[in-house]
Amino acid sequence: MVDAGIGIVIILFFTAVQSFLNRTVEWRWVREFALGKDSIEGFWLDVVKERDQIISCGYVNIYYEDAMYVVEGEVYNRDGVKQGTFKTTLSAYNKKKLL
């Protein structure tokens, strides 16, 4: 009976630890601390060039939501006319690449 009780305590302990770790990944400062200089969250400027000429530019906002990275933003042509908006969810970030 004692062995079963210890087993249940161990299972509950590891379940609590896993739950805590799953919640801490939702905190941005924890992700930034863990990733260091490889952190990608925030606002970014995006410029597309072809043969040294700017074709389009825009802004990108990358943030973590519901256990996924979300990338959204707007794109403008070189005359400043809005070409479109986008929003996508990404499930992984590995070796400085969004997958």
The pLDDT of residue 57 is 93
**pTM of this structure:** 0.63
The pLDDT of residue 65 is 84
**Share of residues in the chain with pLDDT > 90 (%):** 27
- For residue 2, pLDDT beyond 60: no
The full set of domain ranges for the chain reads 1-36, 40-99
Could you give the 3-state DSSP secondary structure of residue 26? coil
Taking only the tens place, the pLDDT of each residue in 7-37 is 677 777 777 766 666 666 667 777 777 777 8
- For residue 91, pLDDT beyond 70: no
- For residue 94, pLDDT beyond 90: no
68-77: strand order across its sheet: 42-50, 53-65, 68-77, 82-90
Which of 63, 73, 74, 71 has the alpha carbon at shortest distance from 89?
Answer: 71
Taking only the tens place, the pLDDT of each residue in 73-88 is 999 998 889 999 999 8
